[in-house]
Amino acid sequence: MRVGFIGVGNMGGPIATHLVEAKHEVQAFDLNEQSLERVVELGAQRASSASNAAEGAEVVFLSLPMPSDVEQVVSGDGGLFDVMASGTTVIDLSTSSPSLSRDLAVEGKERGIDFLDAPVSGGVYGARKGTLAVMVGGSEEAFARCQSLLETFGAKVVRCGDAGAGNVVKAVNNMLAFIGMMGTTEALLLGAKAGVDPRILREVVEASSGASFVWNSGTRAILRDRLAPSFTNSLACKDIGLAVDLAEEFEVPVPMGRRTQQLLEQYRDNGFADEDVLATIRFLEEEADFVVRGLAPDVS
């Protein structure tokens, strides 16, 4: 299949590579030349612009940072809806606004172009391994046509409902994950400063009611002090903001979500914008006058 791919950074690059390895003809574009060069070296074709990446493509993928980027690339002047043929499909892998996804699906339908919102979860590791969860919103027919393509890089590919449903599920998932991350940093620091070996603390909680994927992976990263940015706090602020906006739209109280949003924004505005979400534990360590990072570099 001839595929366009716009946005080949930390997440998009590995996903595009899986499509190349599956023998699809991938036309890639990114504003970052280094990111683009990496996928070209692995077999993708270089496109000179987003619209150039879409030329002749049956399906065009997006993996972009912000909803405003998605809107501009898809429906702005000279955007994908202006250059793609009837019968083609846009698949947005970005974490975006459900209402924007619904609007773009309506606009696309008017032009004979299907739009699927298909945000992913699993991080850079999952993108590289091809084990992402893919949450899809859109018509049953478009999903059926594209499911095998999504399974090229997704271990769990689920149609969640009509347009926008994928981003609803992603907003809920990320809000819950960030609440868990903030709780994990506090709990690990508290237990370690109170005198418990953090290895033992981690092991016991993992077998108890506090266990979660976030606890297991987050404590491992902190205790190893391997907190290079894989998901920045700035992006986390964007994502939880989408969840809180969704809650306002549907008049659902989310006090934990709002408090977590406040914490993430506080950390962002105090020098952590480009740091990994879990690296914000440094802020707590300073207040607690105790460092838990790196206490168990060999933890598995």
Question: Which residues belong to the active site?
Answer: 170
Calpha distance 71→60 (Å, rounded): 14
Torsion over CA of 265, 270, 274 and 275, rounded to 10 degrees?
Answer: -100
Q: Is 178 exposed, middle or buried (0-12, 13-18, 19+ CB in 10 A)?
A: buried
Helices (H) and strands (E) in the chain, counts: 14, 9
DSSP SS3 for 167: helix
Please say whether the dihedral angle defined by the alpha carbons of residues 91, 97, 98 and 99, taken in this order, is positive or negative: negative
Residue with tokens 């924007």: 100
